[in-house]
Structures are given as C-alpha cells and as structure tokens.
Chain A
Amino acid sequence: EVELLESGGGLVQPGGSLRLSCAASGFTFTSYAMSWVRQAPGKGLEWVSSISGSGDFTYYADSVKGRFTISSDNSKRTLYLQMSSLRAEDTAVYYCAKSHVATRRHVNGDFDYWGQGALVTVSS
C-alpha cells in the first residue's frame, strides 16, 4: 500500500527557514516523479515544485524559485522541501504527491497518491 507521510511543518517567522520531509513507502521510489503542492487557508491548490524519479530534474513555481529547494534521498525513500526566506504568503498546507505514471526523467503527470499535508505558518 502506498503511503506518504509529511513532517516538519510549524510556525516560523518571516524570513526564516523550514524543511519539510515526506517519507514514502509501498512503491519503487526512484521510478516516480514526486511533487509538492500547497493550499493556502481557504484557497485552491497551487503546484510548488517537482523532482524526477532519477533526481536529475527539478522544477519550481515562479512564486518560490530561488527560495525553495526540492530534493530526495533514495536510500531513505524521502522527499524534502527546503524553504528559506519565508513570507506570510507561503502560509499553507503543503502536500507531497506521487506521480501516477512511472517515469524516471519526466515530471509532468497527474497525482495518484497524496500525503495528509503539513501546515506551515509564517507569522511574527
């Protein structure tokens, strides 16, 4: 059974940093692209970042480019999102999501499994 478990959320001051983790199980981690999608309170879904199954290709939304870094540790089957220079508008629930189709190079796909989400609150 596929499981995605996020951790690392919390309250952080503007300008601060935080690292989210997503522990994956139940599938061949290196065969699927992984992504982060966030949802601000009362708002819709916003794609944030994706990494290919091989780990060689990464993509970011313009809103986080230069501030967030996506990475993965295959030995730990864990996806990360390092967030820095955080702003109030980054406040959201952050979901990790698994791509539906196995591909080591591409990241464009729909998402068949999602974690329960990690709340990040940026406030002084």
Chain B
Amino acid sequence: DIQMTQSPSSLSASVGDRVTITCRASQDINSFLAWYQQKPGKPPNLLIYAASTLQSGVPSRFSGSGSGTDFTLTISSLQPEDIATYYCQRYNSAPPLTFGGGTKVEIK
C-alpha cells in the first residue's frame, strides 16, 4: 500500500506568516492528491484537488504544488480562521485511499 507522510505534525505561526506543509507519497501518485482542512468538531473540507486546483469557494491564500511523490500546501498569509488540522490524501489508484497523518496549525 502507498503511504502518505506529512510534515510537520504541528506548527505554530503568527498571523500574516507564510505557512508550508509537506506531504510525501511512498510511490509516484502523479498529481492525484487532495488537501483537506478540518476544524474541531467539524467534518473535513476539501481545499485543493489534483495537487494544485483550488476547490470552489476556497480563499486564494491557499495553494498547492507538486507531483510524483512530493507535494506542498501553502497558506500565503495565515489568518486566525485558518487554525485547523490539514490532511493530504492520495487517490491515484484503487483503495486504500490513504490520508496523511495530519498537520495541526496554531497561532503563535
């Protein structure tokens, strides 16, 4: 099975900071990668699919990049409402549709 490894597992940044989260796949997954944001007590919310395509309604400060095995989610200017846990998910082939372990983002 393909493993998805996220780093860091948590981070603390100031409002306005640029934040970068990475996700590494154990095998080439082309661009079949999604990013989700999950706030406490809520279901996940799709932010980015196909590695770099912004889902409708998602603020433009979020962006994704990468292909193959290495991917990045960037928040260009961290806002208080961005406090959440972020997950990557691969979907290049048949299940298991593996998620990364998550990155918890906090305000410094």
Interface, chain A (partner B; CB < 8 A): 35, 37, 44-47, 50, 59-62, 95, 100, 107-112, 114-117
Contacts and interface: CB of A to CB of B under 8 A. Distances in A.
16 contacts: A35-B97, A37-B44, A44-B99, A45-B36, A45-B38, A45-B99, A59-B96, A60-B95, A61-B95, A107-B97, A108-B93, A108-B97, A110-B46, A110-B91, A114-B45, A117-B43
Interface majority SS (helix, strand, loop, mixed), chain B:
loop
Contacts of A108: 32, 91-95, 97
A41 to B, nearest CB: 12
Interface residues of B, number: 25
B62 interface: no
B77 interface: no
Interface centre among B96, B97, B102 (most CB of A within 10 A): B97
Given A45-B102, A100-B46, A110 B89 contact: yes
B66 interface: no
Considering residues B46, B95, B102, which has the most beta carbons from chain A within 10 angstroms of its beta carbon?
A: B95
B26 to A, nearest CB: 16
B71 interface: no
B69 interface: no
Contact of A61 (B49, B93, B96): B96
A13 to B, nearest CB: 26
Contacts of B99: 37, 44-47
Contacts of A110: 34, 46, 49, 89, 91
A100 B49 contact: yes
B68 interface: no
Residue from A44, A50, A116 whose CB has the most chain B CB atoms within 10 Å? A44
Contacts of A62: 96
